[in-house]
Structure 1
Amino acid sequence: MNKQINFDADKFELPVDLEYIKNYGRVERVADGIIFCSGLEAARLHEVVIINQQYNGLVLDLGEEFLGVGLFEDTNDICEGMEVVSTKTIFSSPVGDELLGKVINSLSTPMDGSSLGETGKSYPAFNVVPPIMTIDGVSRPLITGLSIIDAITPIGRGQRQLILGNRQTGKTQIAIDTIINQRGQDVRCIYVAIGQKLSYVADVAHTLKTYGALEYTTIVSAAANSSLTMQYLAPYTGMALAEFWRDQGKDVLIVFDNLSKHADAYRAITLLFRRPPGREAYPGDIFYIHSSLLERAVQLNEANGGGSITALPIVETLSDDITSYVPTNVISITDGQLFLRSDLFNSGQKPAVDIGLSVSRVGGDAQHPIVRKLSKNLTLILSQFDELKEFLAFDNSLDEESLKTITNGQILLEIFKQPIVTPNALAQLVLLLFTFQEGFFIDVPIEQVHAFKTVLLEKSLIDTDFSALSQRLPELSELDEAAIVVCTQLIVQTKEAFLWAQD
């Protein structure tokens, strides 16, 4: 009866292959566009995995118990228990000149069904910022073709300039006009559409093609109906392509339209992974994902090829509130911002740039010397005009100096009004600023300033002397006597004919 019974519990345990679970796992739970996996002990962040030998995903969360994987495909066919296999490769994006003129998704696959073949090269989508010793200062202008931007808030090659404002205020149009104006400037352009309608992306592609800009542009689209992971990846795919061209010594312009939707997609992903939410339910690393993306836009020095990436991120505001979480984050990351106001847009002031809240921290360093000299007092004039115009509503008597400031402000606003897809070249911008600074607009009625400006620009395109000046203008540091004579003669002749026609 006292016989001891030996019980070996080990024989009831299932054997575990430690080598197997390093690179293999199984689906434990399925959520909206993501899955939770067990196993995959050796997996790394942003590593690509294959589910059931059919679907692809990206490791986005390294939990204590499960691995969080974002799915590339928007599918309902993934079930619990399916095998998940690690590819042991960090997500990288195919790059190459073959992508020019294409509309691609976040995996660099053409969306028109065509095949790129083997591009032969890929760049890591989540690359690190170049070392500071390889970075040069921003000193070369990137001409947008929009007079108000090029004169007052200039953008340089290698700069990060934020465009923010409410819906339907012309944010995307500024980016498209800038892309179109790069024709013949040896600048590669990338337009990243995040969470937009497919019809909207098609309209952008059609506009670029119509004006001959698609041939040097690549459109990366993660439409609103694509998975959250694809929307999250889109800007990184675009930046990887930009870095490929930058490392070849080329200048690249990249537009992110828009980072508000990118932040929303990342917020949805992190909430599904049950990460603790912070302000406005965004995760704690929302600042990092945008700073690590935008700070890759730099101007490299000559020793490292001299290439550049100019970034134009777009952020959407609500009720002109720039103090909300995502706008303030991106403002602190970028080198300046263009703030577009709804009331300016609705009043017909297009582009609807608010001069008081818009700034370029690069400033005159990114302007042509002639433009810098001709535009040095414009911000002051518009700021003083903004203060004084309120008195006009009360019919207050103003002194002569104040009336002159108001007149100059009204003239400047009319000069800066610009229809869409009508970019002004450097020579035309210089002509407009010279006309204003020399007082040729003063005796033109305010309601006719815009019409006179339009006629003057049309005449400049067919004037042979001015065309010759346009060719040598980039080499000049200031307007010489011959250039002043050419500009003055063109302005006087055009003005006389214009005023005679009005009479």
Structure 2
Amino acid sequence: MVIDPRTKYGGEPENSPLDRLEGYLRSYQFRMRFTEQGQLVSVGDGIAWISGLPSARMNGLLVFADGSRAMVFDLAIDRVGVVLLDDSQALTSGMPAFLTHERLSMVCGDSLKGRVVDPLGRPLDGLGELREVRWRAIEQKSPPIIQRDFVRKPLYTGVKAIDTLIPVGKGQRQLLIGDEGLGRSSLAVDCVINQRGLDVQCVYVLIGQKRSSIISTINTLRRNGAMDYTTIVVAEASALPGMQYLAPFSGCTIAEGWMHAGCDTLIIYDDLSTHAKIYRELSLLLRRHPGREAYPGDIFSIHARLLERSTALAVESGGGTMTALPIVETEQGDIAGFIPTNLISITDGQIYLDGNLFSAGYRPAIDIARSVSRIGGQAQHQQIKAEAGRMKLDYLQFLELEVFTRFGTRLEASMEKAIRRGRILREIFKQEQLNPLPVELQMAWLIAYNSGLFDNIELSEVVKVMHHLQQCLQKDPTSLEESRERWLEKLSNWFDEIVSTGVP
């Protein structure tokens, strides 16, 4: 007996090929069968047109006679537009095409930890086939309101400016926005590295990037021990447009599987500007009506449908969370572009990287005044929230006062003190790449700064003092639950040591 592979092609298979065969034989019935057979009309640029499939539906999966797959992307009166999922050189005009009546699915499960896969779940790292996986449909509805919970738990990024002033909560969607080359991806990588030991499963989606950049990201995560809890979904620049379009949805499906199993997950989309351009390319090739900047009219709903799947589930629904950090590119610092404004309106806040700060040598180049976290403060630890609130006000006042120093005007003593404290704070915010810091250190320097312990420290010594504080905390760990008085007592002793003996 010859079994037609189309009956289960690309669907949700059982545990093994033998199980699929046994299941097929058990359910087999001898009867007349009717099937639709389409015909390939034209193919090129990653898309194809097919005639003769009246039952085709959007996002439906079909298979050609040579075994290659495609996804229905456009429905016309007399033909169907599809995006190719397999790069086959055998596709020619007139080749038969068949509907599978299956949903495109993605592998899920713990066996994906430490693996690099493509948007269809095929391994790219040479470590062998995936074992003990589950299959989950890529197209999923976002959880309804009744299944969601408030954002209550903090997700620490290890970046001082973010964890104190722009906090991120588990289940939040926080946008990383800025021009190319300002360190958006570096921030995302630092955030993934900081999850080591915090029981957060990470998914990093790389869309349309060069192979050298992809390898660099993978090696960085591997060197820092982050691949043990991270899955990387790759659709490189040379991949078919359909694969690049599917990449964020496939990554979201992996993270969603862990979320519904009760785990905390973090997903990075690097980046959605490229994804929008890929979707525009496919839509124009399929002759859809262009809108603003030639993007199709539904580009907003595409990203909204993706990001709305990130949330915090209620305990009754599993209690898992999915935190999303989408990355978007601006041009010349213009956040009023079409795609950036769309994503700003969908997400719960944005972290804006400024080119002028980057050029001035401030790393990370986060513009505090134009960055915001709308719901992250609800998840922030209460002591950190109280200390950061006082400090943020001082910093924003400093940014306004610093403008006057450019004119060489003579300032009052109080203004000079405020400017000096602001410059010290800006030095504190400097942070080396691939050096995420523990939250206890954030608490330490916040209390030290608000208590005036940094006031007598020279600007050139601030970084060394921060390193010394970190070493002191490693020798004498202090919990966030300790009282402020206990924290201040320890910090005063440490700073007295610095003043008396100098910075180590």
Normalising by structure 1, we get a TM-score of: 0.91
Bigger CA drift: 424-433 or 363-372?
A: 363-372
Counterpart of 2:67? 54
Counterpart of 1:128? 141
Query: Can you list the C-alpha shifts for 1:359-381, whole angstroms capped at 9, x where unaligned?
Result: 00014212111111111123322
Counterpart of 1:32? 45
1:104 aligned onto 2:117: yes
Counterpart of 2:268? 255
Q: Percent identity of the aligned residues?
A: 40
1:366 aligned onto 2:402: no
Counterpart of 2:17? none
Counterpart of 1:184? 197
Deviation (angstroms), 1:403? 1.5
Amino acid at match of 2:125: D
Deviation (angstroms), 1:120? 4.2
Indicate which of 452, 471, 489 corresponds to 1:485.
489
1:444 aligned onto 2:448: no
Indicate which of 167, 178, 188 corresponds to 1:165.
178
The correspondence of residues 185-264 of structure 1 with structure 2, limited to 5 A, is 185-264=198-277
Query: Can you list the C-alpha shifts for 1:113-165, whole angstroms capped at 9, x where unaligned?
Result: 34334544211111001010110010110000001000000000000000010
Rounded Cα–Cα distance in structure 2 between residues aligned with 1:31 and 1:480: 66
1:390 aligned onto 2:390: no
Query: Can you list the C-alpha shifts for 1:225-252, whole angstroms capped at 9, x where unaligned?
Result: 0000000000000000111000110000
The correspondence of residues 324-403 of structure 1 with structure 2, limited to 5 A, is 324-403=337-416
Amino acid at match of 1:489: N
Query: Can you list the C-alpha shifts for 1:186-236, whole angstroms capped at 9, x where unaligned?
Result: 000000000011111111111111111101000000000000000000000
Is contact 1:452–1:495 with CA below 8 Å preserved after alignment? no
Is contact 1:188–1:250 with CA below 8 Å preserved after alignment? yes
Query: Can you list the C-alpha shifts for 1:391-432, whole angstroms capped at 9, x where unaligned?
Result: 112110112222122112111110010001111111111111
Rounded Cα–Cα distance in structure 2 between residues aligned with 1:443 and 1:120: 58
Indicate which of 472, 496, 500 corresponds to 2:500.
496
Rounded Cα–Cα distance in structure 1 between residues aligned with 2:70 and 2:132: 22
Counterpart of 1:313? 326
Rounded Cα–Cα distance in structure 2 between residues aligned with 1:205 and 1:100: 13
Unaligned stretches of 5+ residues in structure 2: 1-32
Amino acid at match of 2:242: T
Is contact 1:452–1:498 with CA below 8 Å preserved after alignment? no
Bigger CA drift: 447-456 or 193-202?
A: 447-456
Is contact 2:111–2:131 with CA below 8 Å preserved after alignment? no
Deviation (angstroms), 1:55? 1.0
The structure with more radius of gyration: 1
Bigger CA drift: 55-64 or 159-168?
A: 55-64
Bigger CA drift: 482-491 or 76-85?
A: 482-491
Bigger CA drift: 446-455 or 127-136?
A: 446-455
Please give the root-mean-square deviation of Cα atoms over the aligned residues, in Å: 1.5
Counterpart of 1:293? 306
Change (3 A) 1:438 1:68: same
Amino acid at match of 1:212: G
Indicate which of 417, 429, 436 corresponds to 1:423.
436
Change (3 A) 1:289 1:427: same
Rounded Cα–Cα distance in structure 2 between residues aligned with 1:44 and 1:303: 34
1:453 aligned onto 2:466: yes
Deviation (angstroms), 1:480? 4.6
Deviation (angstroms), 1:76? 4.2
Deviation (angstroms), 1:77? 3.3
Counterpart of 1:23? 36
Is contact 2:441–2:469 with CA below 8 Å preserved after alignment? no
The correspondence of residues 259-298 of structure 1 with structure 2, limited to 5 A, is 259-298=272-311
Rounded Cα–Cα distance in structure 1 between residues aligned with 2:354 and 2:437: 23
Deviation (angstroms), 1:75? 4.0
Change (3 A) 1:90 1:495: farther
Rounded Cα–Cα distance in structure 1 between residues aligned with 2:288 and 2:405: 54
Amino acid at match of 1:484: L
Rounded Cα–Cα distance in structure 1 between residues aligned with 2:335 and 2:484: 43
The correspondence of residues 467-482 of structure 1 with structure 2, limited to 5 A, is 467=477, 469-470=478-479, 473=480, 476=481, 479-482=483-486
Deviation (angstroms), 1:62? 1.4
Secondary structure class of the residue paired with 1:356: helix
Secondary structure class of the residue paired with 2:445: helix
Amino acid at match of 1:497: T
Query: Can you list the C-alpha shifts for 1:467-499, whole angstroms capped at 9, x where unaligned?
Result: 1x23xx2xx2x6253333223222322343325
Rounded Cα–Cα distance in structure 2 between residues aligned with 1:378 and 1:83: 67
Normalising by structure 2, we get a TM-score of: 0.91
Secondary structure class of the residue paired with 1:375: helix
Rounded Cα–Cα distance in structure 1 between residues aligned with 2:499 and 2:164: 23
Amino acid at match of 2:340: P
Secondary structure class of the residue paired with 1:409: helix
The correspondence of residues 70-89 of structure 1 with structure 2, limited to 5 A, is 70-89=83-102
Rounded Cα–Cα distance in structure 2 between residues aligned with 1:244 and 1:105: 17
Rounded Cα–Cα distance in structure 2 between residues aligned with 1:77 and 1:432: 63
Change (3 A) 1:118 1:453: closer
Query: Can you list the C-alpha shifts for 1:333-355, whole angstroms capped at 9, x where unaligned?
Result: 00000000111112111111111
Show structure 1 runs of 4+ deviating over 4 A: none
Counterpart of 1:434? 447
Secondary structure class of the residue paired with 2:51: strand
Rounded Cα–Cα distance in structure 1 between residues aligned with 2:487 and 2:455: 22
Change (3 A) 1:185 1:117: closer
Deviation (angstroms), 1:92? 1.2
